[in-house]
A and B are shown apart, each in its own frame.
Chain A
Amino acid sequence: MANLPLHTQFPSIQALRETLRSGELSAVELARSALEAIEAQSQLNAFLHVDAELTLAQASQADAALKSGEAPSLAGIPIAHKDVFVTRGWRTTAASRMLENYVSPFDATVVSRLAGAGAVSLGKLNCDEFAMGSGNETSYFGPVLNPWDHSRVPGGSSGGSAAAVAAGLVMAATGTDTGGSIRQPSAFCGLSGIKPTYGTVSRFGMIAYGSSLDQAGPIARHARDLLELLEPMVGFDPMDSTSLESCDGKANNAQRIRSNFDAALASQQQKGERPLDGLRIGVPREYFNGGLSPDVAQAVEQALRTFEELGAVRVEISLPRTELSIPAYYVIAPAEASTNLSRFDGVRFGHRTAQYGDLEEMTSRSRFEGFGPEVRRRILAGTYVLCHGYYDAYYLQAQRVRRMITTDFQQAFSEHCDVIMGPVSPNVARQIGDNREDPLADWLSDIYTLSVSLAGLPAMSVPCGFSAEPKLPIGLQIIGNYFAEGELLAIADCFQQATDWHQRTPGQQ
């Protein structure tokens, strides 16, 4: 088998599964081929840690399962993990010098559940350092190139995940989303991504950035593949106290999402020509203000028309606190990060400075050397807002705003609409290095994704077009009410039956 990108051979995980089960192709052959492709595409810098031995061991296990006829759903499917999920075999660095040589003694719950579902991990994916960034440029190990245009960022922080899937190196990848880190790189790389409801996927083994916001999710080409990944990922985990045992009375498990998806699909089928008949799409007028680029506005508008053709109705809504989500997020996330990252002190693990006089110097030098500028910036900001005398003005105020934003969404869902749609990012992928002198520019570009994270809602990014010149992918954001993952995926699937944006691949747009 040639080192062709996977997506040119297998349109979906389902198709690949059938090939694997037919015996035409073994998981080991597939894994070898993917490892070669990763090597061949190393200039993308998507992978940080590859270990052929570990990967092939998983692949041969999958082959054994496939042979026995009792293979789990993802047996042999090549995936990879964002490097903030700790793994027993591969190093886990969070793309930081701080953890350059760190190997975890245990697997993250997400990692072990996907392994349990038979998925074969090709390794660990580059990302922004400790998931802090929107362009994958804060990685200690260098930027990731966007497979659509190597001079551009793939988005962030799950940039390596998006680049690896877009380049066809894996069928899907895990990502984490704290303020848009799954949705925005998915949009920049022409992929589909979903950030599930906060609490549905375990955070155990996920290196924490903003604990009250962090949520893991998959990046893949389309909604059906996302569903394949999401099913084993969700579920209550007793190791994570914020993980949910039940979602609106239903057990938090794969079945909930699958049955919601199936029910939504069945309802679409009943409606024939207008499968989304009656679906009310809320379109927040605040999402189409000045900062939005014309290309993105046009692509989103086009997507909304497609939805109308599919039977949905468009309802203009207002989410008045959208702009406030930026300051609120950049108080809360750094506040949490500043103490989450306190454990990196050079005492028990991670980078320790070579020279120090006393304990205090050891800690401060180790941290200064181990963390990059963006991480230091957020730790400083977070430390500041938690200080005595500033806490009320910043942290408490931000929490108040967070509650108001949550209320705004709840009001929209209870009174006006079933889902909310809009852009993922105001622009397409920017040039690598563009915002180096102006870190705030990246912070501001998170405007459409932050409020969803603050409210803990599930949201997707699906490809919906390209910019005119240069031709770069644009994403549509679909936001659902709590626990609406199944419905969201069904709506995205319906859109993807009617469009082919998700089938475009780099080099052939």
Chain B
Amino acid sequence: MDWEIVIGLETHVQLSTESKIFSNSSTRFGAAPNTQASVVDLALPGTLPVMNYGAVERAIVFGLAIGAHVAPFSKFERKNYFYPDLPKNYQISQLEIPVVQGGSLRFFVGDEEKTINLTRAHLEEDAGKSLHENFTGPHGESSTGIDLNRAGTPLLEIVTEPELRSAAEAVAYARTLHALVVWLGICDGNMQEGSFRVDANVSVRPRGQKEFGTRCEIKNVNSFRFLERAILFEARRQIELIEDGGTVVQETRLYDADRDETRSMRSKEDAHDYRYFPDPDLPPLVIAPEWIERIRAAMPELPSQKRQRFEEELGLTAYDAAQLTMDRATSDYFEEVAAALPQGQAKLGANWILGELAATLNREERELADCPVRPEQLAALIQRIIDGTISNKIARDVFAAMWAGEENGNPDAIIEARGLKQISDSGAISTMIDEVLAANPAIVEEYRAGRQKAFNSLVGQVMKAAKGKANPQQVNQLLKEKLDA
């Protein structure tokens, strides 16, 4: 049977505020356990939550970026369940009226563009951490340690509609969302530290069937690779289960990266009754239109807007424009390069950044931020290709020299010092061709006998003689003239 996979994602994005969502303790990662837990985070008797408007502002920024409705009035509820690292034994979250409603995000799967609708994004507080393994109490007994540094860290939970249809789509969406929240500066994007965690709701159904299958939720996946593998495993598990005559049970599952499988965590029957109700300690969150407008005015140009501009004004392909707007550093780099090039030549800049530059960064395992070749230097190199000083092929050698820091990365100085200037003098090229033709009568015969390959061989000989510096178009043209004469 032909199966269709249906996926919806819930992403917990840790917002980049200095202090926690309801207290003034720091959100910095990595401090000694419980040193960043105030009386509010510890839920000591008599403490009350106070809204951190920095977290609200970041939620608004996100809402505007995805074209969502930013609710002028939203509410906070208590989600009740007992767990030792949840100090109040309830989490303050938003259920009924979330701060961000609707919206959509466009993303690429390969070079195919997709749009996904978002259901909502709501503010909530994170819990602390429990350390169950290898933890001993004060008397050496096996124990559970609680670290409340993370308790109260602001989260934006972003929920999609169940519109994703493959693991690749899910990953592409998650990457685009990750890139967006980092771009907007509302999240540091650090997945190892848990700043961006994904829950995937996965179900399968026979292709063509309208009703959704029973879904399983895979919790807390913190890498794109694991997300893809978890979904692939889970979809296969469900399909095999159904094909073997079984039925999928709605449940929460965990992905075990070591074994590359998902495992049942709790079934629907074990699910908590969270007893949600409006938190009486927090008045409704009221967002005035003026506040939204102030934030809108200060928004950076969004990746989607930049992409459109790159396509329309700079003539880039949709794919290149999308690639260049995956992160702010790349798009800034590209814009600097493009600005230094003659009009209409931005495409060449894009090719270089997505080609040679990206490949080199990748090979050297470096970020664009520590790229030794500055945008104006790359533009100067491209300029020499445009004006015919060097060929594309030679330019790659110059680029490598620039990367290595030769001549302070100045392409002209490198071209000069290495004598790489292209030979465009037709007299000189003509002489070189004559010498090659004279030295290779057999190949010339083959060409005359109609074998095109022989022509390419002759071009190669000429370029070799010119040490690669001869203008290839001129070589082609002159050689043809001489042979066909």
A residues sitting closer than 8 Å to B (CB atoms) are 85-86, 92, 94, 99, 102, 104-106, 108, 203-208, 210-212, 238-242, 335-336, 338-339, 342-343, 345, 347-349, 359-360, 363, 383, 386-388, 391, 395
Q: For the side of the interface on B, what is the size category?
A: 20 to 34
Whether A106 and B39, one on each chain, are in contact in the complex, defined by CB atoms closer than 8 angstroms, is yes
Q: Bound complex: CA of A238 vs CA of B45, how far in Å?
A: 17
Q: Given that A212-B280, A348-B87 are known contacts, is A241 also in contact with B39, CB under 8 Å in the complex?
A: no
- Additional 5 contacts, C-beta under 8 A, given A86-B46, A212-B280, A395-B277: A211-B280, A240-B50, A342-B90, A343-B87, A387-B275
Interface-lining segment among B76-84, B162-170, B356-364: B76-84
Interface centre among A210, A335, A338, A342 (most CB of B within 10 A): A342
Whether A99 and B45, one on each chain, are in contact in the complex, defined by CB atoms closer than 8 angstroms, is yes
In the complex formed, the residue of B with least CB distance to A102 is B45
Residues from chain A with a CB closer than 8 A to the CB of B282 are 241-242
Q: Given that A336-B280, A342-B80, A387-B273 are known contacts, is A348 also in contact with B43, CB under 8 Å in the complex?
A: yes
Residues from chain A with a CB closer than 8 A to the CB of B283 are 241-242
Whether B48 and A240, one on each chain, are in contact in the complex, defined by CB atoms closer than 8 angstroms, is yes
Whether B277 and A343, one on each chain, are in contact in the complex, defined by CB atoms closer than 8 angstroms, is no
Q: Bound complex: CA of A169 vs CA of B215, how far in Å?
A: 66
Q: Bound complex: CA of A85 vs CA of B273, how far in Å?
A: 32
Whether B44 and A386, one on each chain, are in contact in the complex, defined by CB atoms closer than 8 angstroms, is no
In the complex formed, the residue of B with least CB distance to A98 is B45
Whether B82 and A206, one on each chain, are in contact in the complex, defined by CB atoms closer than 8 angstroms, is no
Whether B46 and A238, one on each chain, are in contact in the complex, defined by CB atoms closer than 8 angstroms, is no
Q: Bound complex: CA of A195 vs CA of B276, how far in Å?
A: 29
Whether B44 and A105, one on each chain, are in contact in the complex, defined by CB atoms closer than 8 angstroms, is yes
**B interface: dominant SS:** loop
Residues from chain A with a CB closer than 8 A to the CB of B49 are 241
Q: Bound complex: CA of A124 vs CA of B417, how far in Å?
A: 88
Q: Given that A105-B44, A241-B50, A386-B275 are known contacts, is A347 also in contact with B146, CB under 8 Å in the complex?
A: yes
- Within B242-293, the residues touching A (CB, 8 Å) are 273, 275-277, 280-283
Residues from chain A with a CB closer than 8 A to the CB of B51 are 241
Residues from chain B with a CB closer than 8 A to the CB of A342 are 80, 82, 88-90
In the complex formed, the residue of A with least CB distance to B78 is A339
B residues sitting closer than 8 Å to A (CB atoms) are 39, 42-51, 78, 80, 82, 84, 87-90, 144, 146, 273, 275-277, 280-283
**A interface: dominant SS:** loop
Q: Bound complex: CA of A506 vs CA of B78, how far in Å?
A: 46
Q: Given that A86-B45, A386-B275, A387-B273 are known contacts, is A345 also in contact with B280, CB under 8 Å in the complex?
A: no
Residues from chain B with a CB closer than 8 A to the CB of A395 are 277
Q: Bound complex: CA of A335 vs CA of B45, how far in Å?
A: 18
Tell which of A105, A207, A241, A339 touches B80, judged by Cβ atoms closer than 8 Å: A339
List 30 A-B pairs, Cβ < 8 Å: A86-B45, A94-B45, A99-B45, A104-B44, A104-B45, A105-B44, A205-B46, A205-B47, A207-B45, A207-B46, A208-B281, A211-B281, A240-B48, A240-B50, A241-B49, A242-B281, A338-B275, A339-B80, A339-B90, A339-B275, A342-B80, A342-B88, A342-B89, A343-B43, A347-B84, A347-B87, A348-B87, A349-B42, A387-B273, A388-B275
Residues from chain B with a CB closer than 8 A to the CB of A210 are 280
Q: Bound complex: CA of A78 vs CA of B317, how far in Å?
A: 81
Residues from chain B with a CB closer than 8 A to the CB of A343 are 43, 45, 87-89
Q: Given that A342-B82, A343-B87, A347-B146 are known contacts, is A204 also in contact with B277, CB under 8 Å in the complex?
A: no
Residues from chain A with a CB closer than 8 A to the CB of B42 are 348-349
Residues from chain B with a CB closer than 8 A to the CB of A104 are 44-46
Whether B44 and A239, one on each chain, are in contact in the complex, defined by CB atoms closer than 8 angstroms, is no
Q: Bound complex: CA of A242 vs CA of B49, how far in Å?
A: 10
Distance between B393 CB and nearest chain A CB, rounded to angstroms: 67
Q: Bound complex: CA of A106 vs CA of B45, how far in Å?
A: 10
Q: Bound complex: CA of A299 vs CA of B242, how far in Å?
A: 78
Q: Bound complex: CA of A336 vs CA of B84, how far in Å?
A: 20
Whether A242 and B277, one on each chain, are in contact in the complex, defined by CB atoms closer than 8 angstroms, is no
The 8 closest A-B pairs by CB, nearest first: A342-B89, A211-B280, A386-B275, A212-B280, A205-B46, A86-B46, A343-B43, A207-B45
Residues from chain A with a CB closer than 8 A to the CB of B39 are 105-106
Q: Bound complex: CA of A206 vs CA of B45, how far in Å?
A: 8
Q: Given that A336-B280, A339-B78, A339-B80 are known contacts, is A349 also in contact with B44, CB under 8 Å in the complex?
A: yes
Tell which of A204, A335, A338 touches B48, judged by Cβ atoms closer than 8 Å: A204
Residues from chain B with a CB closer than 8 A to the CB of A241 are 48-51, 281-283
Q: Bound complex: CA of A239 vs CA of B44, how far in Å?
A: 14
